[in-house]
Structure 1
Amino acid sequence: MTFSSLGLSPSILEAIQKAQYESPYPIQLAAIPPILQRKDVLGIAPTGSGKTAAYVLPILQQLQSKPTNQSREITVLVLVPTRELAAQVEETVKMFSQHLPRKVKCAAVFGGVSINPQMIHLHGTDLLVATPGRLLDLVSKNAIQLDKLKILVLDEADKVLNLGFKLEVDEILSRLPKKRQNILFSATMEAEVEDLIAQTLHQPIKIEVNQDPIAPELIAQTAYLVAKEKKGPLLRHLIEKGDWQQVLVFTSSIRAADNLATKLNKNGIQATAFHGDKSQGARTDALTKFKAGHIRVLVATDLAARGIDIKFLPHVVNFELPRSPKDYVHRIGRTGRAGSEGEAVSLITPEDQHHFKVIQKKMGRWVEMVDAQNLGF
């Protein structure tokens, strides 16, 4: 099936096409139609299953019929456990909404940073992505209003509860209007999650997606154990010594992608960043130049890189590891296509070692680890 079979509007389908999404994941096939029908949805799905787009796309379509927000009344609230996930959801929303006729204002708020810039930026926000504690801080300061909320999304609900946010979630739920659409995603069905489901959802459509078995193609994989501050010099050493002319490098955030591309250029290696904050024109231009060999290194985030399909890409580098084993397999699968040989390299700090062992175990394949100190760069 295709996205066009799910009831999405022409403008959303055009946004999907411009974002270079090819075909829907199982969770998207199952979740998009009932969310469009404004039904409550319960999704049991692992990290990396494509659930973010599964709720973002139909919600963006719903917002297209609403007038532009001129107040501090939030229409859609996405509650997440971590700032990393908040940034990921915000990036997804921005990537799709930049192509829509009715612009959607999205903001991500979380603790650990100054609250004042967030308060200033919130006026006119349609869709707010928030961690529980910072959300309540903003509510207490009257920076946002939740009494007219139309859609609530609880993403990674099990992790929200595991991190000790139950009291905050209860407080947030008590402030919301009773009549609203509820969407809840969780990787597990623990007792606390079941209680939250009973408290939140009304006759939900239940969707369960199992993690696909991880079976990467036979790609030459190497990992380098390296101190965090030595990652940049090591990457430059590998590119220059190996005479790599076409390299796709993955980072975990937009900021990291921009910073790495800047440093590579300063050291004489032509590079450009490729992520959801770039305009469609800029992304298309960067990809065209990269495929043609006019740009040596493309530094990408996972979300933007989903649409990258280069038949004879020789090198992929995990400058930073992804959150899930499935994302790792998707990354390295950008190389070794169409019967061509490919090489995937991962830069592993001591702090990354445990997570990398988990990835290898899920993948069912162990990767040779080289101590970067022995390379003499």
Structure 2
Amino acid sequence: MGNHSFKEYAISSTVEQIIEGLGFFNPTLIQEQVIPAVLRGESLIGQSHTGSGKTHAYLLPLLNQLEDESQHVQFVVTAPTRELAMQIYNEVKKAVELAGKEEVWKSSLVIGGTDKQRMVEKLTSNPPQIIVGTPGRILDMVTEEALDVHNVKSFVLDEADLMLDLGFIEDVDQILIRMNEDLQLLVFSATIPERLQPFLKKYLVNPTHIKIDDNKPSPESMEHRLVALRHKDPADLIMDISKSIQPYLAIIFTNGKEQADELASGLLDRGLETGLIHGGLSPRERKRMLKDLQSLRYQYIVATDLASRGIDIQGVSHVINARMPKEEEFYIHRVGRTARAGLEGTAINLYTEEDFPLIEKLEKRGLTFNFYEVKNGEWREAKSYKERQKRTPVHSELEKKAKQMVKKPKKVKPGYKKKMKQEADKNYKKLKRDSYRKKR
């Protein structure tokens, strides 16, 4: 939090009432910079990490600019996933209720997975001033002439880099070309990839660029633990870890849908009640899973990066990286799911030698990693990865030879990889003993 107060901004008594009802005292770092810029009518690019207070950074000033008497769409907020759009819409509804403006400020959630014709009828019979939704369905409503966006004053593009990854930027482009040139465009993105630049240059001329980087890539209340994976199956190691922690909710990250499916299945087979969220699930499955999460059915949920970005999962006490990501920013996003709102959190990382470069980069950014191993459900301090790096070439050669000694079965059966790893581990230990005896 900064040292500023919401009272410093030129906001109405109605918005002050919303802020008070939300229980906000001081603006967050991104709110300090975004709120006055939006109030001045500036277009901007905002960069901040998960949990920074970004949503209210744009919602509060946009609500401040609403004209009660104007019965047309005044601002549009787009999000890459239905779940994220629903969460933003719920914040809009909450703000409207706190303002006591239910009969004046009309809003609509425009997402797929709902009856298209019914949505057309609703939008044409009762035009809203606020639209929150996904680009594809908003574009549908515009082309069906159920939505008139010509007079929209402000347009929010949330999670722009994820929009790009999921292929929705073209839909956004088709919506924007139907809007006025003097539109206030607010783009929020954790990262600004090179592929996003043509879009930004097309629609933004000298925008205000706000980047929140207070040199703290994760909250001080978070601990980062490193646990060597070695030749173990991640599901086995996570089961052992589960005996040593009591999470309110733990998100277990993998690098892709196939890994997520395999890990969730492995944990369920071992008796750990585990949920699963990734982009390959059907809308119905995702909706059911989110409902189960809200009802606290699961203590553990396996997720991919894209799913985690599009969903705000509350109450996460632990983040477990079954596989560490390849890039720093993805690590920051993952661990940003916990230790929010001043609460404590723990990030547990299963690592291999391939992760050393990433760990070093994160250490340079100020993160401190503690090294542990888990035996019989108990944490024990372990040697750092740097000490492990000093292993002699002989050991590396022995590992290579141990793997070569394992014969791949002609007929592949479930669990064959695990068996091959176990056999390679046994071979390595035997070769190591033999090598030691020869030296004596």
Q: Given the two structures, how large is their TM-score scaled by the length of structure 2?
A: 0.54
Cα gap change, 1:44/1:301 in structure 2, threshold over 3 Å: closer, same or farther? closer
Contact kept, 8 Å, 1:48 with 1:326, in 2: the verdict is: yes
Amino acid at match of 2:221: P
Matched, 1:67 2:91: no
**Matched residue, 1:145:** 148
How far apart, CA to CA, are the structure 2 residues paired with 1:67 and 1:37? 21
Pairing partner for 2:56 from 53, 66, 77: 53
User: Separation in 2 of the partners of 1:12 and 1:176?
Assistant: 27
Q: Which has the higher contact order (CA 8 A, sep 6+)?
A: 1
For residues 216 and 84 of structure 1, the distance between their equivalents in structure 2, rounded to whole angstroms, comes to 28
Match of 2:174 among 143, 146, 171: 171
Q: Secondary structure at the match of 2:51?
A: coil
The answer to whether structure 1 residue 94 and structure 2 residue 97 are counterparts is no
On the 8 A contact 2:221/2:343 being kept in 1, the answer is no
Q: Which residue of 1 aligns with 2:340?
A: 330
**How many Å separate the matches in 2 of 1:114 and 1:371?**
52
Question: Is the 1:150–1:180 Cα contact (8 Å) retained in structure 2?
Answer: yes
For 1:101 and 1:33, how far apart are their aligned partners in 2? 24
Aligned residue identity for 1:4: K
Q: 1:2 to 1:175 in 2, by over 3 A?
A: same
Question: For residue 106 of structure 1, what is the aligned residue in structure 2?
Answer: 107
Query: How many Å separate the matches in 1 of 2:172 and 2:160?
Result: 10
Equivalent position amino acid for 1:108 in 2:
L
Partner of 1:207: 210
- Residue 141 to residue 327, structure 1, CA distance change in 2 (3 Å): same
Separation of aligned partners in 2, 1:197 and 1:210:
21
Change (3 A) 1:67 1:370: farther
Count of paired positions? 285
Quick one: distance in 2 between partners of 1:183 and 1:253?
31
- Note closer, same or farther for the CA distance 1:124–1:190 as it changes in structure 2 (3 Å cut): same
Stretches of structure 1 that go unaligned for 5 or more consecutive residues are: 233-250, 264-299, 306-315, 336-343, 347-357, 373-377
Residue 353 of structure 2 corresponds to none
Tell me how far 1:151 sits from its aligned partner. Answer: 0.8
Q: After superposition, where does 1:282-297 map in structure 2 within 5 Å?
A: none
SS at match of 2:339: helix
Cα shift readout 1:116-148 (whole Å, capped 9, x = no counterpart): 343344333111112121112112222211111
Alignment partner of 2:27 out of 2, 24, 29: 24
CA shift, 1:9, in A, is: 2.1
Compute the TM-score of the two structures, normalised by the length of structure 1.
Answer: 0.62
**Contact kept in structure 2, 1:106 and 1:126, CA below 8 Å:** yes
Quick check: which has more Rg, 1 or 2?
2
CA distance in structure 2 between the partners assigned to 1:252 and 1:8 by the alignment: 39
Q: How do 1:152-163 residues align onto structure 2 when only pairs under 5 Å count?
A: 152-163=155-166
- Report the CA distance between 1:55 and its aligned residue: 0.3
**AA of the residue aligned to 1:329:** A
Higher mean C-alpha deviation, range 209-218 or range 7-16: 209-218
Residue pair 1:39, 1:204 contacting (<8 A) in 2 also: yes
What is the CA distance between 1:324 and its match in structure 2?
4.7
CA RMSD after TM alignment: 4.3
Secondary structure of 2:98 counterpart: coil
User: Does the 8 A contact of 1:75 with 1:151 survive in 2?
Assistant: yes
User: How far did residue 105 of structure 1 move?
Assistant: 2.1
Q: Distance in 1 between matches of 2:82 and 2:23?
A: 26
2:36 aligned to which of 14, 33, 38: 33
